[in-house]
Amino acid sequence: MSELHNFKVEPGDPDPRGWTVVGPDNQRLGIVRDLLVDTSAMKVRQLIVDLDGTGVGAGSGSRAVLLDVDAIDVRGDARQVLARNIAGSREYGDYDAAAISGRDTSSGTTERTLTRAEEEVTVGKREVSKGEARVSKHVETEHVSTPVTRRHEELIVERRPVHEGARADASISSDEITIPLMEEEVVVEKRPVVKEELVVGKRVVEERDTVDTEVRREEFDINSPTTSERGGRGRGDR
């Protein structure tokens, strides 16, 4: 990592360079010299460890070994790296160091690597409250008119002449006849009657939306009087 100027440890993540490496018995084994980075995945894959003694690691006399990050535990408070199994580690000299630094190839040219990254859009979904629907009822009053027929009794008075020679009562006096008269009275009765029911539910409706956003990507800027580009993607000479 020290030779890759466009790479650095993420803020908040431990940087074990310079930390002490200990074994399962907490015995000191060496010091972390550098980090070996997978530039394509942008992840640290191995630690370069300078051993304190010889005969530890891949072979006798080795001074630096590679430790896989999956085989270590980081102790941030103590600034230590616990190597769970250093016996199977490979010597740093066996590794192709061109992945992280310049090298002289058989053609006599010096190669260095520069990665290009770009943002990818990942669209997710989450449920949020859209509100709530309320269904209730209230009472309304309206005036209605209903025709109805009712009966009543009326007094009929008819005067008729009597037969000649009809005899009157022995005395003349006052008399009275009482005739009751009846009529129908309208009686209004009301009772609730179910006329309709309302069924309330909900359903899921799918609709298609388009998400518009901006993504960034890196492009190579090549500025050289003599450039020979082999494959890859870039903007060419500028």
pLDDT tens digits, residue range 96-109? 444 444 444 444 45
Please indicate, yes or no, if residue 175 is contained in any of the structural domains: no
DSSP the chain: -TT-TT--PPTTS---TTPEEE-TT--EEEEEEEEEEETTTTEEEEEEEEESSSS-SSSTT--EEEEEGGGEEEETTTTEEEES--TTPEEGGGS-GGGTS-EE-TTS-EE------B---------------------------------B--------PPPTTPPPPSS-----------B---------------------------------B----B--SS----SS----B-
Structure confidence at residue 231 (pLDDT): 56
Render pLDDT for 66-113 as a digit per residue (tens, 0 to 9). 888 888 899 988 899 998 887 767 777 644 444 444 444 444 455 677
Please indicate, yes or no, if residue 186 is contained in any of the structural domains: no
Please indicate, yes or no, if residue 189 is contained in any of the structural domains: no
**CA separation for the pair 1, 34 (Å, rounded):** 7
The HSE-up count of residue 50 (CA atoms within 13 Å, CB side) is 8
Structure confidence at residue 80 (pLDDT): 92
Does the global pTM surpass 0.85? no
Residue count of the chain: 238
Question: Where in the sequence is the domain holding 14, given as residue range(s)?
Answer: 1-119+196-220
Structure confidence at residue 39 (pLDDT): 80
Please indicate, yes or no, if residue 75 is contained in any of the structural domains: yes
Please indicate, yes or no, if residue 177 is contained in any of the structural domains: no
The CATH number given to whatever domain includes residue 104 is 2.30.30.240
Please indicate, yes or no, if residue 106 is contained in any of the structural domains: yes
| Residues of the chain scoring pLDDT < 50 | 54-62, 94-108, 233-238
Asked if residue 116 lies in contact with residue 219, where contact means CB atoms within 8 angstroms, the answer is yes
Structure confidence at residue 189 (pLDDT): 93
Query: How many structural domains is the chain composed of?
Result: 1
**CA separation for the pair 89, 106 (Å, rounded):** 29
**CA separation for the pair 23, 72 (Å, rounded):** 10
Please indicate, yes or no, if residue 39 is contained in any of the structural domains: yes
**CA separation for the pair 113, 38 (Å, rounded):** 11
Please indicate, yes or no, if residue 80 is contained in any of the structural domains: yes
